[in-house]
């Protein structure tokens, strides 16, 4: 397994930019293991990313990699996938990247049900710029731009994706790295827009300011606060209040956009004859 | 639907852009509805799937620019169309295309601005936005048609230049050229010169995606063709890997400029009309050049030796051509539908060797033949 991961890294790019205790490497590792399990041809695999700490992941991977502009990864990926549907396209984004500046692209990729697998690194913070609140920062948490505690409510990425039309929605944490890998595999196998939210720790810009401890302690927090879909079904909303529900959250059938477009092209070609 | 080539048709400028794009091999369009460019999107939606191409109306202007870049990287020639407000939104990713060297064409059918302005009124207020709209130092190519047939020809040329130099190319139209209808005879496909991007000539292991050939342009592998590499808007080395090395940053930015400025003979074009013996000249472009041409003709009839210099390539600015003109004429009249965006460039190139007079119109109305003619009659005594 480790060899698989290493074989898909651009060795000359290491060491990476991430801080000690950061969870991004765990997500990257789960992604690579998933790509190997899926048997994707590296030449036909594309990894698109936005801007932020997590989006640097694309550059470390030995696939066709595209590090785009802030929030726009899904829009670039839409162009790639529509132009060349035979490519397998993964899109890596941070929580602010995907749901603040990229929120419009996120809901419309879901609405189209375009065959992209989006992995959202949710660390509840803008890490690269030093710890400002994102749409995923919980109420009352401290950030550099919420020095008295955060006043706004957070998004639920999974509910957002589901409401907008995504056909596969799942969540795991970096503590549950095996599950995360399995969910990415299942998401990539879904012919449509798939969203996998990966809860990951930023001890430097989020944990420190909120006294959540180091990377290990934040991982253990994930372990202690995660409940499976099955467990959650038996719990009251009150019991679920500070819990993270992990596993496959939603799955649906819907026409996939690029396939529908290909059908149109074929239908028109038939008519021409 | 397109008619056969070689047959005269009544055609709109925006329609000619679509015909030019398809003739040049464009097979991807992403856009967002905006007046007065919308016909381009509508026709692309109809025509592209008929030739196996792809059309998508994205959720916004930003996304359509991003999708165009993605599609180009995946190997399709790609184009988008917009107007001033949308052009502003696209600037972020136009800069990305310049930095990552992804060929693409952006059509801007200019309308009255700033802001929403008058969506249906013509203007030429985006001359400087075309040049400096995205942040940072960057070279740009912008072409400016003044007839429907030229909208076809320059769309083909824009696509060819984008592919040849791996740059975003801007087709700077105006509402008049976009919406007016003229009798047009399009060339048969075999007579349309079509340029393809340079492909790598080495196996994947030896490929440096940003190592330029002698012409300054690196060969481009498409995603999915077996050359796995990294593309970023960050400063990057020849491998495509991000770096903050000052020498690499400087050399990259200088090369991006060299690949354009070392090929001005290929990129620049101007139209010279009755300039051989001219003593006074008009510089005009786009729709205004049509009135200017007529004014020159009428001036000649009135015994004034007038001529027209029409920048077809507006960026890079045809500096040498204007400087050369300034040595031969006493007066240069710059007529444009803005408050002097190109006049300042002309003044710089003229460098005091001739008088420069501006005719500027920002009412959303065209500049008339009479106004230009009147300016040509007022040759300063000491110029």
A11 touches chain B (CB under 8 A): no
Two structure tokens written together for A35: 């790509």
B52 touches chain A (CB under 8 A): yes
- Is the pLDDT assigned to residue B193 strictly greater than 80? yes
Q: What is the pLDDT of residue A2?
A: 77
Two structure tokens written together for B63: 């996304």
Q: Is residue B264 part of a domain?
A: no
CA distance B257 to A164: 43
Q: What is the pLDDT of residue B226?
A: 97
Q: What is the pLDDT of residue B50?
A: 98
- For chain A, where are the E strands, in sequence order? 45-49, 64-67, 88-94, 117-122, 125-126, 132-133, 168-173, 194-199, 226-228, 244-251
- Is the pLDDT assigned to residue B71 strictly greater than 60? yes
B220 touches chain A (CB under 8 A): no
Find the residue in B nearest to A259 (Cα).
B54
Considering only CA atoms, which of A168, A180, A167, A172 is closest in space to residue A31?
A180
CA distance A224 to A173: 11
Contact A67 B62 (CB under 8 A): no
Tell me which of B26, B27, B57, B63 to substitute to probe the interface with A (most A C-beta atoms closer than 10 Å): B63
Mean pLDDT of chain A: 97
Q: Are residues B168 and B25 in the same domain?
A: yes
Flag the least confident range among A6-10, B5-9, B137-141, B219-223: B5-9
Q: What's the whole-number mean pLDDT along residues A231-247?
A: 97
- Is the pLDDT assigned to residue B277 strictly greater than 50? yes
Q: What is the pLDDT of residue B2?
A: 58
Q: What's the whole-number mean pLDDT along residues B72-93?
A: 98
Q: What's the whole-number mean pLDDT along residues B240-245?
A: 97
- Specify the number of domains making up chain A: 1
Q: Quick: pLDDT tens for B282-304.
A: 999 999 999 999 999 999 999 99
Q: Is residue B230 part of a domain?
A: no
Indicate the residue among B191, B221, B241 that finishes a domain. Answer: B191
Q: What is the pLDDT of residue B199?
A: 97
Q: What is the pLDDT of residue B1?
A: 47
ipTM value greater than 0.95: yes
Q: Which of A42, A65, A264 sits opposite B230 (nearest CB)?
A: A65
Tell me which of B90, B102, B223 to substitute to probe the interface with A (most A C-beta atoms closer than 10 Å): B223
Q: Are residues B176 and B309 in the same domain?
A: no
Task: Kindly report the CATH number assigned to the domain that includes residue A57.
Answer: 3.40.50.970
- Is the pLDDT assigned to residue B383 strictly greater than 60? no
Q: Are residues B315 and B182 in the same domain?
A: no
Q: What's the whole-number mean pLDDT along residues B270-286?
A: 98
Flag the least confident range among A66-75, B1-10, B334-343: B1-10
Tell me which of A35, A62, A68, A83 to substitute to probe the interface with B (most B C-beta atoms closer than 10 Å): A83
Contact B28 A79 (CB under 8 A): yes
Q: What is the pLDDT of residue A273?
A: 73
Tell me which of A47, A50, A75 to substitute to probe the interface with B (most B C-beta atoms closer than 10 Å): A75
B66 touches chain A (CB under 8 A): yes
By residue range, what is the domain housing residue B297?
A: 271-376
- Specify the number of domains making up chain B: 2
Contact B66 A48 (CB under 8 A): no
B226 touches chain A (CB under 8 A): yes
Q: Quick: pLDDT tens for A5-25.
A: 899 999 999 999 999 999 999
Q: Quick: pLDDT tens for A190-200.
A: 999 999 999 99
Q: Which of B66, B71, B224 sits opposite A68 (nearest CB)?
A: B66
Q: What is the pLDDT of residue B382?
A: 53
Q: Are residues B13 and B143 in the same domain?
A: yes
Q: Which residues of A touch B230 (CB under 8 A)?
A: 10, 58-59, 65-67
Indicate the residue among B170, B191, B212 that finishes a domain. Answer: B191
Contact A78 B70 (CB under 8 A): yes
Q: Using a pLDDT cut of 90, give the percent of chain A over it.
A: 97
Task: Kindly report the CATH number assigned to the domain that includes residue B290.
Answer: 3.40.50.920
* Residue B3 banded pLDDT, cuts 50, 70, 90: low
- Is the pLDDT assigned to residue A219 strictly greater than 70? yes
Nearest 5 degrees, angle CA A9-CA A12-CA A18?
70
* Residue A84 banded pLDDT, cuts 50, 70, 90: very high
Q: What is the largest CA-CA distance in chain B?
A: 69
Q: Are residues B54 and B150 in the same domain?
A: yes
CA distance A109 to A95: 16
* Residue B379 banded pLDDT, cuts 50, 70, 90: confident
By residue range, what is the domain housing residue A251?
A: 2-272
pTM score above 0.80: yes
- Is the pLDDT assigned to residue A107 strictly greater than 80? yes
CA distance B6 to B21: 17
Q: Is residue B171 part of a domain?
A: yes
Q: Is A90 helix (H, G, I), strand (E, B) or coil?
A: strand
Task: Kindly report the CATH number assigned to the domain that includes residue B184.
Answer: 3.40.50.970
Under 8 Å between Cβ of B145 and B11: no
């Amino acid at each position: 397994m480790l060899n698989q991961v290493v074989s898909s890294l651009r060795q000359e790019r290491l060491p990476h930019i991430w801080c000690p205790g950061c969870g991004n490497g765990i997500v990257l590792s789960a992604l690579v293991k998933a790509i190997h399990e899926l048997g994707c041809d590296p030449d036909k695999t594309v990894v698109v990313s936005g801007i932020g700490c997590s989006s640097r992941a694309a550059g470390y991977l030995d696939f066709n990699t595209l590090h785009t502009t802030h929030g726009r990864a899904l829009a670039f990926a839409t162009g790639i996938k529509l132009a060349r549907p035979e490519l397998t396209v993964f899109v890596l984004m941070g929580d602010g990247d995907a749901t603040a500046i990229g929120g419009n692209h996120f809901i419309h990729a879901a609405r189209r049900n375009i065959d992209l697998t989006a992995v959202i690194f949710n660390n509840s913070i803008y890490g690269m710029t030093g710890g400002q609140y994102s749409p995923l920062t919980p109420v009352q948490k401290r950030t550099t731009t919420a020095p008295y505690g955060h006043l706004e409510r957070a998004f639920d990425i999974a509910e957002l994706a589901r409401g907008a039309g995504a056909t596969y929605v799942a969540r795991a944490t970096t503590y549950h790295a095996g599950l995360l890998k399995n969910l990415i595999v299942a998401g990539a196998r879904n012919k449509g827009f798939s969203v996998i939210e990966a809860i990951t720790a930023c001890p430097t810009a989020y944990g420190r300011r909120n006294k959540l401890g180091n990377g290990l302690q934040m991982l253990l927090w994930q372990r202690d606060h995660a409940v499976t879909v099955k467990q959650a079904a038996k719990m009251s909303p009150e019991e679920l209040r500070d819990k993270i529900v992990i596993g496959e959250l939603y799955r649906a059938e819907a026409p996939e956009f690029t396939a529908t477009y290909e059908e149109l092209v074929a239908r028109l070609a038939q008519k021409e004859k | 639907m397109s008619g056969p080539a070689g047959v005269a048709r009544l055609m709109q400028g925006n329609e000619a852009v679509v015909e030019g794009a398809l003739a040049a091999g464009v097979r991807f369009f992403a856009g967002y509805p905006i007046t007065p460019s919308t016909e381009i999107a509508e026709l692309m939606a109809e025509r592209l799937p008929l030739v196996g191409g792809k059309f998508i109306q994205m959720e916004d202007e930003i996304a359509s620019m991003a999708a165009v870049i993605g599609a180009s990287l995946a190997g399709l020639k790609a184009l988008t169309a917009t107007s001033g407000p949308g052009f502003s939104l696209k600037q972020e990713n136009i800069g990305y295309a310049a930095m990552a060297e992804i060929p693409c064409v952006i059509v801007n059918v200019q309308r009255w601005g700033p802001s929403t302005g008058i969506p249906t009124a013509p203007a030429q207020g985006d001359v400087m936005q075309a040049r400096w709209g995205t942040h940072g130092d960057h070279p740009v190519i912008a072409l400016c048609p003044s007839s429907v047939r030229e909208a076809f020809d320059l769309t083909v040329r824009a696509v060819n230049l984008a592919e040849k130099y791996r740059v975003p190319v801007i087709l700077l139209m105006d509402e008049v050229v976009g919406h007016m209808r003229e009798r047009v005879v399009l060339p048969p496909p075999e007579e349309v010169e079509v340029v393809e991007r340079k492909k790598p000539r080495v196996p994947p292991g030896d490929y440096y995606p940003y190592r330029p050939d002698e012409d300054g342009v690196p060969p481009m592998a498409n995603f999915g063709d077996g050359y796995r590499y990294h593309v970023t808007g960050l400063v990057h080395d020849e491998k495509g890997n991000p770096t903050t090395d000052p020498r690499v940053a400087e050399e990259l930015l200088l090369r991006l400029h060299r690949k354009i400025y070392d090929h001005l003979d290929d990129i620049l074009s101007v139209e010279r009309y009755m300039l051989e013996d001219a003593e006074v000249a008009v510089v005009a472009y786009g729709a205004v050049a049509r009135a200017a041409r007529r004014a020159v003709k009428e001036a000649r009839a009135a015994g004034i030796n007038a001529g027209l210099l029409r920048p077809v390539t507006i960026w890079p600015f045809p500096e040498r051509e204007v400087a050369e003109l300034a040595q031969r004429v006493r007066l240069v009249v710059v007529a444009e539908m803005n408050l002097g965006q190109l006049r300042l460039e002309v003044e710089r190139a003229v460098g005091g060797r001739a008088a420069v007079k501006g005719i500027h119109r920002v009412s959303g109305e065209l500049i008339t033949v009479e106004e230009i003619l009147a300016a040509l009659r007022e040759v300063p005594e000491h110029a």
